[in-house]
A and B are shown apart, each in its own frame.
Chain A
């Protein structure tokens, strides 16, 4: 029963890491961009949902959906006026390096900006005070986490379906697969990049909205997740969206179940030990680095 409780907790946590990692993987797969500010957009989503629920008296699910449009717009803005400009300026021998540093700078701006606005004191949703649990036998299943996990699954599946079955999805996949070939056949690669970046930011903000239903937020909350996100993405195979999803779920399960055999304080050591072992055996991740999403 105890092991089953740990499996449930691992899946719930893994679902959130998976959704976060999928945004990061999508961005890397299409734009070849490592975004250090990805988890900070999640943090902004958490604050955004707190502000919206306080002013509009909505629940966290509706607040997260309401944030989708401004999040998408923020993604368009950041790509258009920061990422693209940095790439165009050729500030480094490789444009990816300049973009990487730009996202690092953006992360610092977002964290410090949030601290100026909301302060360093942790904040929570008032609804997070309610101790909502399903009891099934001796199992305790946390309701907000389960709702969060379900939303994560729905969003992940929707994103995969859009990528595979729609014109926009095919455009994005073509841009990811071979940029030059896509341009030659008339695909608007710049639009695909813009869209990909905005959707990735949108995913992070939605995850933030889910997470704040049970996790207190501070301006540094993103730092608690960014390493796990990168680990999941690399485990799954750089740029592989499905791989990132699997990587996130595996991470959640390993973090949770590792305490069955080793002390809890070493659970991150198990995660990163597994990661290193995997890199030795399969340097390109479980699913391999792919050019197809």
Chain B
């Protein structure tokens, strides 16, 4: 068992070997000044989270970064952590971690205090109106990330197709590269404003990441302050 650094943070990294998670994990390790107490990587899907959680629990972490892509892996790991008595702060690196389905599977008690890092706006100040319309139309508690990204992707592609004037890959690619959208309603679902454009490397410019925390069965935005509808709480 490795000792914690001066900050007292004992970070464990638990991720599947999805390429995005491998990159995120490498980035976290590069930025961290503290040693990582445990690092567990698996090939999804997990049939049973007991072995991976048991290995992590041996190192007694107080912060766990969970990079699990599938809902079933997220469910199995979070429940098993609770079952083995973990009190560590869980940071889930996937927007799907704030979906109602995870609450259905794990329960409000198990999800309490779990932080989710997301690139789309969950029930906060921005998309409240769309969220309400979605909830009324579907009967679900709130709009999940698949609904949001599906809605955004189609409207963005729709606008790019309008601009390209033809359904050809190269023309569409060029239209997306030149896109500087302000008036697409679905963009309000992106944290940090309603402008969308891409840089020379193809990545979106001006990305703002939100931190969402599960509190009493609701995912509340706790960062950034401009769109926050809750404050960060410590895990009980």
Please pick, from A13, A123, A129, A145, the residue contacting B101 in the complex, using a CB distance under 8 A. Answer: A123
Given A140-B84, A265-B17: A130 and B51 interface contact (C-beta under 8 Å): no
Q: Are A131 and B79 in contact (CB under 8 A)?
A: yes
Which residues of chain A (1-32) have a CB below 8 Å from chain B? Answer: 2, 5-6, 8-10, 12-13
Which residues of chain B (53-78) have a CB below 8 Å from chain A? Answer: 54-55, 58, 71-72, 75-76
Give the residue name and chain of the A residue nearest to B75 (CB): A216
Please pick, from B48, B80, B105, the residue contacting A256 in the complex, using a CB distance under 8 A. Answer: B48
Given A216-B72, A218-B72, A263-B41: A9 and B54 interface contact (C-beta under 8 Å): yes
Which residues of chain A are near B123, meaning CB under 8 Å? none
**Which of B106-114, B154-162, B168-176 lines the interface with chain A?**
B106-114
Which residues of chain A are near B79, meaning CB under 8 Å? 128, 131, 214
Interface centre among A128, A216, A266 (most CB of B within 10 A): A216
Q: Are A9 and B75 in contact (CB under 8 A)?
A: no
Q: Chain A contact residues: over half helix, strand or loop, or mixed?
A: helix
The interface of chain B, by Cβ under 8 A from chain A, is 16-17, 40-43, 45, 47-48, 50-52, 54-55, 58, 71-72, 75-76, 79-80, 82-85, 101, 104-107, 109-110, 146
Which residues of chain A (115-136) have a CB below 8 Å from chain B? Answer: 121-124, 126, 128-131, 133, 135
Q: Tell me how many residue pairs across A and B have CB atoms closer than 8 Å.
A: 101
Answer yes or no: A65 CB below 8 A from chain B CBs.
Answer: no
Number of interface residues of A (CB under 8 A): 39
Which residues of chain B are near A121, meaning CB under 8 Å? 101, 146
Given A9-B48, A128-B105, A142-B83: A267 and B54 interface contact (C-beta under 8 Å): no
Q: How far is the CA of A256 from the CA of B43 in the complex (A)?
A: 13
Nearest 6 A-B pairs (CB), nearest first?
A129-B107, A9-B50, A124-B105, A133-B83, A122-B71, A13-B48
29 pairs from A and B in contact (CB 8 Å cutoff): A2-B54, A6-B50, A13-B48, A121-B101, A121-B146, A122-B71, A122-B72, A122-B101, A123-B101, A126-B104, A128-B105, A129-B109, A131-B107, A140-B54, A140-B83, A140-B84, A145-B48, A214-B79, A215-B72, A215-B76, A221-B72, A224-B45, A224-B72, A225-B47, A255-B51, A264-B42, A265-B16, A265-B42, A265-B43
